[in-house]
Amino acid sequence: MESKIDIRTLSVDEIADILKKWDEKPFRAKQIYEWLWKFSVRNFEDMTNLSLELRQRLNEYFEIRGLKTVTTQKSADTTIKCAFRLFDGKIIEGVLIPTPTRMTACVSSQVGCSLNCKFCATGYLKRERNLDAGEIYDQVIELNKVAIENYGIPLSNIVYMGMGEPMLNYHNVLKSVEHLTSEQGLGMASKRITVSTSGIAKMIMKLADDNVKFNLALSLHEADNIKRSAIMPINDSNPLEELQTALQYFYSKTKNQITLEYVVINNTNDSVEDALNVVKFASKIPKVKVNLIEYNPIDNAEFKASDIKKMERFASILKEHDVLAVIRRSRGKDIDAACGQLANKTK
């Protein structure tokens, strides 16, 4: 017999078509779909409102490729990092970030990454493949369990800021968001979800045309084309002018929150001139917010974090020019779980 199909790659209509050939009632497809995406079952045997015969037949032809948590590390600041093994043995990482007001899951969208950002540990890994929608969804399920087990509080927010570039896995990222937000899935609010991109202009515009409901974050990190290309090669094909136009278009179509993420690196992107460049870039994007993020050292690069005084000076310059800026302190540095540090060290 040929290898089994992962049933979670099928739509509810495709499941219904198969059940029709089996002379099963059409409503069974919706029941199966809800078991998969609303109740997150990983065994056909657990679909207790289906007949034993149907469950056996499903098990004969299909499988449910769940991921497994292989390691869990807890930071001194309460951040928790999990390494997940996928069905083919590949490893990805996800992070739970608790704060007084939020319980956030940071999830990955690819195994590795192809963009080679110089300050990011994941950028030094080979991109092996995209994650499918179920693998992204499963990270949320597992991190929600971790949140409840450790803090007694379920997830409130999801950020696609882990390993990989979400816009290079566009279909699966949007499909995973659909499962997380639909009534047949987890029913989470779209405004509680933020998808981050290193900056692929045409895909940002596609998000706008697809009328997505979630928030968007751009990993900016430099607002001068020459300097940005030096640390983010993706800028060669997606220069700042194109990104600015794409973000303007995104906001005009969706009115969704846009955040500019800016990792502040000592003597690299933390000068007064750098701050004024950010002002110039941000001032043409409506209701934008800038997150100034403490740089986290990685093994493959010699960059260093700017001190807090430089970060505060940078923030002050933005605020003086009416650009909303917030300084974000790193979480999970001691377990390599902070921004830019995910590199599968725990496998």
Tokens for 210? 């697809």
Q: Which residue in the list 106, 113, 117, 339 is annotated as catalytic?
A: 339
Burial 82-109 (b: 16+ CB within 10 A, else e): bbbebeeebbbbbbbbbeeeebbbbbbb
Distance CA 265, CA 118 (A): 11
List, as one string, the DSSP characters of 246-267. Answer: HHHHHHHHH---EEEEEEEBTT
Distance CA 32, CA 10 (A): 11
Our CA dihedral for 27, 29, 34, 35, rounded to 10 degrees, sits at 110
Tokens for 261? 């993420």
Q: Is there a catalytic annotation at residue 106?
A: no
Q: Which residue in the list 93, 135, 222, 261 is annotated as catalytic?
A: 93
Q: Are strands 62-63 and 91-98 parallel, antiparallel or unpaired?
A: unpaired
Q: Is there a catalytic annotation at residue 93?
A: yes
Q: Is 227 helix (H, G, I), strand (E, B) or coil?
A: helix
Q: Any idea which residues carry the catalytic annotation?
A: 93, 339
